[in-house]
Amino acid sequence: MSIQLNETHDPALRSWVASANTPDTDFPIQNLPFCLFRRAGRNAVFGGGVAIGDQIVSLAALGRALEDADPLARSAAVLGARSNLNALMDAGPAAWSALRLALSRLLRSDAAPRPEILVPQAEAEFAVPAQIGDYTDFYTSIHHATAVGKLFRPDNPLLPNYKWVPIGYHGRASTIGVSGQTFHRPRGQTRGATEAEPVFGPSKRLDYELEVGIFVGGGNARGEPIEAADAERHVFGLCLLNDWSARDLQAWEYQPLGPFLSKNFATTISPWIVTLEALAPYRAAWQRDAADPQPLPYLDYPSLRDSGGFDIELEVLLQTAAMRRDGIAPARISLSNFRHSYWTVAQLLAHHTVNGCALQAGDLLGSGTQSGPQPEEAGSLLEMTAGGKQPLTLPNGEQRIFLEDGDTIEMRGWTKAGRHPRIGFGAVAGTVLPAR
């Protein structure tokens, strides 16, 4: 499925919400990403919202504002006003598109201002936007896989299945938190290369992973695979995702069955879900080296090569406790792009379900660490410090090999194309606390 451009993508559109018209906003009227929020400091039920500039449209507050809109849009708004977005996600692309069009028309500069439907983002607190039934993390960056493989298998960094199969593992949904998440340094077993037996204690090699999250919209019946060509109809949208990783725990446990305690202690996502419709002008060509195996038929589809990817810049910033104390802003340590991904969003869904596995609305897929081909595009400290051999020096002179207690990792994402305005994903931030 290829989403067509329509009036909601018009680069000339402006909003009566003035902050949506500034060139540096993540949330112009052409974006309209979804979230789950409530006013901070109030014991209210969370409900769905849509970003516009520095404000949030409360779907619960729309009331009669959409009385002239398509009935499908009105019903979608009611679903989105619930205490999670699962029902809206399950409603399907026609409902999502109708609601997007109605909100776009409601918020345009030639419409009557409706300030009563807005809540300032500065006065809001956010929650994980869906009840996530299952979480699967993939491994779609060949640059990350190769760099990490070289650390452990210099002569054979990529295992033979990598270029044939979208590799993934099942993660833990219960420890997924929204931006602002804090967590204690995980503890577990580790064993050094010269140690005869493992020891138990806090992780000493704590890392982040720069990823894109994929929220499933309408699912599939058990036993009925999703075709790659139709897969994007089952994607509600994308967010930013930090897959925190304890590298020393991982090195000891990952063979023969893969990550376990090294990954399941915390995963942090951004509050905002940018829809695939909003991203339609920012698609990217997908390429596979002619010397590599081409996708098997079930992973191939007509629009794969011309528009299978997404041109999304992905940034990582780090702020230490000392930087925060001294008023030093977070420092950029990496800048990559989602277009480098070896497998596409559609291929992930097609592969996940080809054996009959059923996905459900609200399920979350992680893209895997999004590293690019250049050293400055590394999506983890494991790569950036060559496995801990090359310390990273920060603007205040501090050095990092892996994360220390009090460190905050912030990730941002945005895209821009031609006449179309910059749209963004906001930020996802998380902070490491000392081990319990």
Structure tokens at 4: 């067509």
Distance CA 103, CA 71 (A): 13
Token pair belonging to 181 = 């998440």
- The answer to the question of whether 222 is labelled as a binding residue is no
Q: Is 267 annotated as a binding residue?
A: yes
Tokens of 52: 């516009």
DSSP category for residue 295: P
144 catalytic, yes or no?
yes
Q: Tell me whether residue 407 is annotated as binding.
A: no
Residue 301 assigned as binding residue: no
383 annotated ligand-binding residue: no
User: Locate tokens 């982040």: which residue?
Assistant: 208
In the chain, the amino acid numbered 13 is: L
The Cα 319–Cα 409 span in angstroms is: 7
**In this structure, how many other beta carbons lie within 10 angstroms of the beta carbon of residue 434?**
10
Strand partners, 117: none
Is 162 annotated to bind a ligand? Reply is no
Residue 263 labeled ligand binder: yes
H or E element in which residue 305 lies = helix 304-307
What per-residue string of b and e applies to 49-64 under the rule 16 or more CB within 10 Å gives b? bbbbbbbbbbbbbbee
209 is in an annotated binding site: yes
> Does 250 appear as a known binding residue?
yes
User: Does the annotation place 254 within a ligand binding site?
Assistant: yes
Identify the CA nearest to 428 among candidates 266, 316, 288.
Answer: 316
Q: Out of 144, 234, 351, 352, pick the active-site residue.
A: 144
Q: Is 163 annotated as a binding residue?
A: no
Please, how many CA atoms are within 13 Å of residue 158, restricted to the half-sphere of its CB?
Answer: 18
48 and 59 Cβ atoms separated by less than 8 Å? yes
What is the residue whose two structure tokens read 């409900």?
47
DSSP string, 49-88: EEEETTEEEEGGG-GGGGTTS-HHHHHHHHHHTSSSSHHH
Residue numbers annotated as active site: 144
- Residues forming the annotated binding site for Mg(2+)? 243, 263, 267
- Residues forming the annotated binding site for substrate? 139, 153, 250, 254, 369
- Residues forming the annotated binding site for Ca(2+)? 137, 209, 211, 243
- Residues forming the annotated binding site? 137, 139, 153, 209, 211, 243, 250, 254, 263, 267, 369
